[in-house]
Amino acid sequence: MGVITGTGSYAPARIMTNDEFAAYLETSDAWIRERTGIRERRIAAPEEATSDLAVSAGLKALESAGLEAVSLDGILLATATPDLLFPSTACLVQARLGADKAFAFDLNAVCSGFVYAMSVAKSMIESRAARRLLVIGSEVMSRALDWSDRGTCILFGDGAGAVVVEASEAASKGLETFRLRADGRYWDMIHVPGGGSRRSGEESSPFIRMKGGETFKMAVRSLQESVMEVLSSSGVSPSEIDLLVPHQANIRIIDALATRLGLPPEKVMVNIDRYGNTSAASVPVALDEAVRSGRISEGSRVLLTAFGAGVTWGSGLLTWEAETQKRSRS
């Protein structure tokens, strides 16, 4: 059984408030908060890249687990904003951490990336391909923004979150049921036209393009279906969930999902007001904050869910047994 034994997160120092947008765009703090739930977000410094954020979050997760990087079997990095086209950002992180024995690779499912990566980690642990993994979601979304496009630039921020996943014979539960989905027919719902190998047809823009209304409707519907599939497969009812940790894309999406599941506010982790949408970093940052604030403890049933470009979506159910794993290692 795979269990989470440590969590960590990192946010750049620079805080950008809604009022800064109001100074040059036709918008206001009230308009942004009402439609998105965001009041501020973090922006990486010019010298900061995705790997820098990932290393900081990864070190905190390793410290939380009481481990050295050299003990890792692998590093899975979910990101849509890599440092370079290649090599993988995970390899850069591996070198910086000194994880000399670890394999490393990137995984790109955009905002769903961390949930996808956790599903892969679960499979690798259960198949005995690895016993100790560092799973990271890290993004510098600010580098992919057209700062004159009100429909996208107000939504995103930068950050990183990480967890250590280990095999445990002592744990009866841990990473339980994960379900992943994708529908590439809607690839242009959220996309960046430029930066890849395609050079004909659409403009080669390096900035995010998004169909906001269509994305909202599909996200709510897909997340509900995904969550219910996971719960049904696990024999768990929504009322048995202790905390929902959703992708922080829009407060209206989160509220709509919580309402459909019948979950009260105290069972929903929300930090979008302080970070905006940090894509693959969103779920692990929220998860780390929930752990460190005491909203998740031994035995808590936690539900992860995310929707992103691709389009991709997925959910995962876990029971918190980190302390069990730490005891079994000591």
Q: pLDDT for 214-272, tens place per residue?
A: 998 999 999 999 999 999 999 999 999 999 999 999 999 999 999 999 999 999 999 99
Give the residue-averaged pLDDT of 265-280: 98
Known catalytic residue: 247? yes
Known catalytic residue: 191? no
284, 22, 288: which is closest to 150 by C-alpha?
Answer: 22
CATH number at residue 29: 3.40.47.10
Boundary of a domain, candidates 167, 184, 199: 167
Residues 12 and 137 in one domain: yes
Residues 127 and 202 in one domain: no
Here the tokens at position 50 are 């995705």
Range of the domain at 190: 176-320
Of 153, 247, 250, 271, the active-site residue reads 247
Q: Which amino acid appears at position 254 of this protein? A: I
Of 18, 250, 271, 277, the active-site residue reads 277
pLDDT at 162: 98
Give pLDDT tens digits for 73-108.
Answer: 999 999 999 999 999 999 999 999 999 999 999 999
Buried b (16+ CB within 10 A) or exposed e, 113-124: bbbbbbbbbbeb
Of 111, 153, 250, 271, the active-site residue reads 111
Contact 31, 112 (CB under 8 A): no
Residues 7 and 156 in one domain: yes
Residues 29 and 142 in one domain: yes
Spatial distance between the Cα atoms of 201 and 28, rounded to a whole number of angstroms: 36
Known catalytic residue: 277? yes
Give pLDDT tens digits for 156-214.
Answer: 999 999 999 999 988 878 999 999 999 999 999 999 998 888 865 556 789 999 998 89
pLDDT at 163: 98
Residues 90 and 118 in one domain: yes
Query: Which residues 6+ apart lie within 8 Å of 74 measured at CB?
Result: 102, 103, 104, 124, 130, 132, 133, 134
* pLDDT top residue among 196 and 135: 135
